[in-house]
Amino acid sequence: MSYSRDRDETCFRLCKMQARLFERSSVEGIPSYFFVKSFVATQYARKMDELTIFDEVYSEDEIFQNVKKRINIRRGTVYSPAVMHWIGYLLREWSYRYNTYTSLILKDVSLDYLAGVYQPYHSLDVLKAIKLIAVDRGINLDITPEERLRKILLKTMPIF
């Protein structure tokens, strides 16, 4: 299982930013599933995935407030700040290192699953945790994002 990018300063900055955003959602009592779902659907997540987020100036507070505005539901599970921090960091590093969209990762790995593996995996190197999760969920980390998207589309399309 090989990754396409090394961990560098850009990776670290993106991971820390997303981890803080996810953690803040927990601190503010926003149901975790709805926060992550809303965040992944924003231009900010797409710009992080495409590494263009630093082309413009966004404060973390601006990003957070814009995501928070999209969430109308106040009921649901709120994972602890530590769990959300770890999930945010892990998802961003996975997206960065394997050059894939966060939304595609979350199609294969649910937020509940990630929260469930926090305890055994959070103290591991994040790349090791990603590999263990991929093995457990049957994800081939060597396939390109385009191939993964094609497989997802083929699964959801009706056969005539």
Residue 79 to residue 45: CA distance in whole angstroms: 20
* Residue 3 reports pLDDT greater than 80: no
For position 1, what pLDDT does the model report?
Answer: 46
- What letter would DSSP give residue 5? S
What pLDDT digit, counting tens, does each position of 78-135 carry?
A: 999 999 999 999 999 999 999 989 999 999 999 999 999 999 999 999 999 999 999 9
Residue written as tokens 């094609």? 150
CB 102 within 8 A of CB 21: no
For the chain, the distance separating the N- and C-terminal CA atoms, rounded to the nearest angstrom, is 36
Q: Determine the Cα angle at 26 with ends 59 and 70, to 5°.
A: 60
What pLDDT digit, counting tens, does each position of 18-56 carry?
A: 999 999 999 999 999 999 999 999 999 999 999 999 998
Q: To which H or E segment does residue 25 belong?
A: helix 9-27
For position 145, what pLDDT does the model report?
Answer: 63
